[in-house]
């Protein structure tokens, strides 16, 4: 089996047009990132049109649920039937989901479209890393990662501009249609450039494990969204039943995976310390980062008074810091021990989230930009660094599933984070603003959920406006304090990685 894969990999490397493939992959990554930045910019407008603030959990949660559930399945299928076929299929799903989202006239249709997009994204992200790793040895991969960093400025620069333009000048529906031509171009380039070997492999798909995994993830991760949007509480019998069902299905899934010949998630991967620790780290970061920053455009537009375009650009400094850090770490990761590299870098998010948790009504935009840069400088070490470590920690035949399994934990963490932090923000805001009671105009007091979803209304007296704005700031302070604690946990976890310098010798202690 190993010889077959080595021969196939050599064939892929010799016959593939590396430039064409890499251009297609980069466009595909830009395509995925562009969707995220554009949608984030337009989310407050979409929420006002189709639902309340709590629907942040649904729109982001459904996407992440689908991505989380199908990422390991698509990664495994790529190992079995070929990277090219699964990548192109994933791209087709993402484009199809974008069309459904663009045509949406209701929240239900939008959620269906986001679910289809998430299914496609579950294959696009890990397979881009897997295909590029097949083309280059580890030393060149680190340089490629550093080279790709500046390219990712493109969606970060265009995303907020496009999102703001479509929201202000056309319609938010068009933010999804822009994905179509870019995705088609990426698919054509990769289809023409990537040549895979013709080795015949018996395809054995663990459908029982796949079904159990999807069911367990949905049972566990849908609960925070249901709590906010359907009026349930954590002590509700239905929610408790869902959580118990999820845990039971997860237990059965682990048992099944230990018995089948081609498991969806090979359990032996977690005997590798790097895989285990990185999975826990990205899970933790997913909760703290995605959870707390997913609603930042709401803060920027309602507290800072920025337009959708300006709000989208305000998070750009974090990506600038992350890309600079990623370029440096891409150079250092083959020269210094990655445990120290990760550990030292993660001091910065601790500082950043501490500063965010102490924002006040007088905090300036310049200060917030500095907070973002500091946070990004620490998180940039994960931009490819974790993937490089994973690639060199497992055998070739498990590379695809390993590169899908670790991001799976980040996706699960992000799904939990977005749902829990969205719920926390909505409930905290409602509680704090509700305490004003008689000070609020009668129409606002009777429509508290509408007030929270729509933001600070115009026409208030200066004193009441300042009071409500302060309550908004305090609510965000509350959620960022939890992110600060999570950042400390992630920092501690980094020191459990192996004390090794990244090399291409896959035989070493894996």
DSSP string, 384-433: SHHHHHHHTTS-GGGHHHHHHHHHHHHHHHHHHHHHHHHHHHHHHHHHHH
pLDDT given at position 10:
43
pLDDT given at position 214:
76
pLDDT given at position 5:
39
Write out residues in the chain with pLDDT < 50, as ranges. 1-13, 447-448, 505-510
The pTM (predicted TM-score) of the whole model is 0.71
Q: Where are the alpha helices (H) located in 207-337, listed in sequence order?
A: 207-221, 223-229, 237-257, 273-285, 291-293, 296-302, 308-314, 316-332
Distance CA 164, CA 310 (A): 8
CB burial of residue 173 (10 Å; 0-12, 13-18, 19+): middle
* Residues 335 and 388: beta-carbon distance below 8 Å: no
* Residues 386 and 278: beta-carbon distance below 8 Å: yes
Distance CA 189, CA 19 (A): 10
Task: Spell out the residues 6+ positions from residue 269 whose beta carbon is closer than 8 angstroms to its own.
Answer: 275, 394, 398, 401, 402, 405
Least Cα distance to 278 among 146, 100, 406 occurs for 406
Summarised one tens digit per residue, pLDDT across range 17-63 is 777 878 887 777 777 767 766 776 677 677 777 765 555 556 766 77
Residue with tokens 């013709």: 198
Query: Over the range 363-395, which residues count as b (16 or more CB within 10 Å of their CB) and which as e?
Result: beeeebbebbbbbbbbbbbbbbbbbbbbbbbbe
Q: Where are the alpha helices (H) located in 107-178, listed in sequence order?
A: 107-135, 138-151, 153-169, 174-177
């Amino acid at each position: 089996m190993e010889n077959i894969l080595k021969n196939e990999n050599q064939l892929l490397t010799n016959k593939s047009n590396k430039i064409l493939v890499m251009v297609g992959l980069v466009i595909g990554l830009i395509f995925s990132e562009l969707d995220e930045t554009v949608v984030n910019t337009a989310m407050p407008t979409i929420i006002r049109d189709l639902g309340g603030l709590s629907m942040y959990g649904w729109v982001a949660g459904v996407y992440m649920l689908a991505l989380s559930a199908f990422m390991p399945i698509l990664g495994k299928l790529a190992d079995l039937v070929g990277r090219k076929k699964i990548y192109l299929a994933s791209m087709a799903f993402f484009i199809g989901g974008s069309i459904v989202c663009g045509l949406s006239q209701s929240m239900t249709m939008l959620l269906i479209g986001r679910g289809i997009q998430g299914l496609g994204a579950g294959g696009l992200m890990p397979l881009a890393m897997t295909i590029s790793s097949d083309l280059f040895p580890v030393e060149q991969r680190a340089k490629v990662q550093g080279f790709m960093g500046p390219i990712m400025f493109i969606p970060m620069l265009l995303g907020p501009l496009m999102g703001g333009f479509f929201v202000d000048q056309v319609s938010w529906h068009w933010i999804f249609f822009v994905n179509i031509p870019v995705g088609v171009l990426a698919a054509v380039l990769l289809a023409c450039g990537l040549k895979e070997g013709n080795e015949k492999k018996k395809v054995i798909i663990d459908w029982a494990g796949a079904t159990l995994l999807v069911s367990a993830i949905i049972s566990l991760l849908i609960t925070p969204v249901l709590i906010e949007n359907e009026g349930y509480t954590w002590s509700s019998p239905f929610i408790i039943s869902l959580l118990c069902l999820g845990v039971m299905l997860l237990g059965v899934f682990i048992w099944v995976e230990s018995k089948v010949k081609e498991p969806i998630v090979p359990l032996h991967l977690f005997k590798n310390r790097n895989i285990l620790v990185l999975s826990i780290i990205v899970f933790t970061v997913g909760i703290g980062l995605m959870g707390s920053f997913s609603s930042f455009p709401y803060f920027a537009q309602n507290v800072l008074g920025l337009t959708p375009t300006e709000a989208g650009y305000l998070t750009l400094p974090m990506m600038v810091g992350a890309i600079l850090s990623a370029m440096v770490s891409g150079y250092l990761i083959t020269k210094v021990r990655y445990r120290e590299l990760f550990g030292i870098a993660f001091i910065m998010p601790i500082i950043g989230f501490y500063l965010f948790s102490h924002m006040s009504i007088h905090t300036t935009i310049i200060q917030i930009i500095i907070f973002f840069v500091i946070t990004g400088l620490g998180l940039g070490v994960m931009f490819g660094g974790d993937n490089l470590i994973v690639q060199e920690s497992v055998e070739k035949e498990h590379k695809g599933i390993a590169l899908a399994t670790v991001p799976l934990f980040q996706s699960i963490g992000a799904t939990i984070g977005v749902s829990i932090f969205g719920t926390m923000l909505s409930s905290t805001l409602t509680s704090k603003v509700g305490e004003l009671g008689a000070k609020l105009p009668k129409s606002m007091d009777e429509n508290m959920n509408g007030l929270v979803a729509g933001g600070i209304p115009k026409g208030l007296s200066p004193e009441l406006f300042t009071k409500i704005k302060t309550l908004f700031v305090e609510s965000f302070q509350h959620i960022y304090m939890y992110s600060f604690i999570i950042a400390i946990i992630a920092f501690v976890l980094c020191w459990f990685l192996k004390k090794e310098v990244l090399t291409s010798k896959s035989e070493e202690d894996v």
